[in-house]
Amino acid sequence: MKNTLKGFGAALCLTLPLFAQTPARAADQALVQRGAYLAKAGDCVACHTAPKGKPFAGGLPMTTPMGQIYTTNITPDPQTGIGGYTEEDFARAMREGVAKDGHNLYPAMPYPSYAKVNDDDMKALYAYFMSGVAPVQQANREPDIKWPLNMRWPLKFWNMVFLDKGVYQDKPGKDVAWNRGAYLIQGLGHCGSCHTPRGIAFQEKALDESGSAFLTGGLLDGWFAANLTGEHNVGLGRWNDQDLQAFLKTGANRHASAFGSMTSVINNSTQGLNDTDIAAMSTYLKSLPPAGGSGAPPYKYDPQATKVSLNRPANDAGARVYTAYCMHCHGVDGRGFAPMLAPLSGNPNVLEKDPSSLINVTLNGTEDLVIGGIPAPYPMPKYAPVLNDQQIADVLTFVRAGWNNGAPAVTADDVAKLRKSTHAAR
């Protein structure tokens, strides 16, 4: 499940004391607390907090096809943040991607998703950002995009073509849980921002289940965000509701573990949502029919050929790397020790045609999953300093062929390109 998504900090828990308040003040506080929860659902701090920076003060670099941009300060500081925004200004920025001074925001800000947020939730979000977030005076950084690509007026036409300004409307014939899940997934959760492929104008190819491309997976910032439809091999077709809810709450289940940008989504967004909302999100996602994928036959586990290679690794370059660096965690049988150590046999990310996520996580490792304040004991280490491009290509080719995975080979050129791009991003 991409950038384009990072962690929530303790700032989401900032609230005003409830004691010694008038009824009106208590009502205001309840609104702020609701806004804090919704900001968590929206994963706002992920993009608007730089590494080692103050919550919501911006400055996080984001890579786009045009160049690097930097997220903005959304604390209530009146000079450098959004302290001067009215509720109407705030809603316009959220839903239409237009700042208070009238300039258009780049659609790296997922306002096409936030456009679906209803008025009551928008009011609560505004209350939280104005009264529940500490102001930080930190000037915004200009994007590293050269003229003429840095001109923003074409975004007005982009919005005319690709922005649907209507808030989410419950679908008739669907129950409360389905509609709540759809609202969260399509709206504040903005899952499509990473998990839906984009077109030539960087637009999401679909914004809801009515489009066949919706949540079929997408390449973004060096990661391939997974297919979330019911596709059997690379999607959620083999996951039941319990599997999906466990993943959203803990980042791991018997099929896969979170890595890359999804780690921070789990750490600081979905694990903090209540069980009702997690169940609703699962209900909606599990209703999506199979789409995308490679059209390969349904995966069936078969360890025999791989066991032979691992018994005689000298005959296979990928097997040699696997036995030296991977087997102690992921096992001879490829089943790992789920949920602590991810399986490789039948893992949707392994079966995916695009190997970007596998290359990236092998090169650069991943941040710790931190559930309930406790870091996961066995994070994926980075092998960029240890293995060369050919060795990584060999071992990933071995893994993608092993245990009947049947996924395409990885080349040293594939690894070299991602090594270069991820190094430059840092």
Q: pLDDT confidence of 424, banded at 50, 70, 90?
A: low
Q: What is the pLDDT of residue 426?
A: 62
Binding-site positions: 44, 47-48, 191, 194-195, 326, 329-330
Q: pLDDT confidence of 61, banded at 50, 70, 90?
A: confident
Is the same domain home to 19 and 108? Answer: yes
Could you read off the pLDDT of 132-171 as tens digits, one per residue? 999 999 999 988 878 777 778 888 998 999 999 899 999 9
Residue 252 lies in a domain: yes
CATH number (domain holding residue 260): 1.10.760
Residue 137 lies in a domain: yes
Binding-site positions for heme c: 44, 47-48, 191, 194-195, 326, 329-330
Is the same domain home to 158 and 233? Answer: no
CATH number (domain holding residue 349): 1.10.760.10
Q: What is the pLDDT of residue 11?
A: 33
Is the same domain home to 133 and 185? Answer: no
Is the same domain home to 144 and 194? Answer: no
Residue 348 lies in a domain: yes
Could you read off the pLDDT of 344-375 as tens digits, one per residue? 999 999 999 999 999 999 999 999 999 999 99
Domain boundary among the residues 162, 197, 216 is at 162
Residue 291 lies in a domain: no
Is the same domain home to 181 and 135? Answer: no
For 318, residues 6+ apart whose C-beta sits below 8 A from its C-beta are: 394, 395, 396, 397, 398, 399
Residue 191 lies in a domain: yes
Number of domains within the chain? 3
Is the same domain home to 136 and 64? Answer: yes
Q: Which domain holds residue 38?
A: 10-162
Is the same domain home to 280 and 329? Answer: no
- pLDDT top residue among 149 and 425: 149
* Closest to 317 measured CA to CA, from 384, 390, 376: 390
Q: pLDDT confidence of 25, banded at 50, 70, 90?
A: low
Domain boundary among the residues 286, 316, 347 is at 286
Could you read off the pLDDT of 333-344 as tens digits, one per residue? 999 999 999 999
Query: Kindly report the CA angle at 147 between 146 and 150, in degrees rounded to 5?
Result: 80
Phi and psi at residue 49, to the nearest 5°: -130, 120
Residue 42 lies in a domain: yes
Angle between the 241-250 and 261-268 helix axes, to the nearest 10 degrees? 90
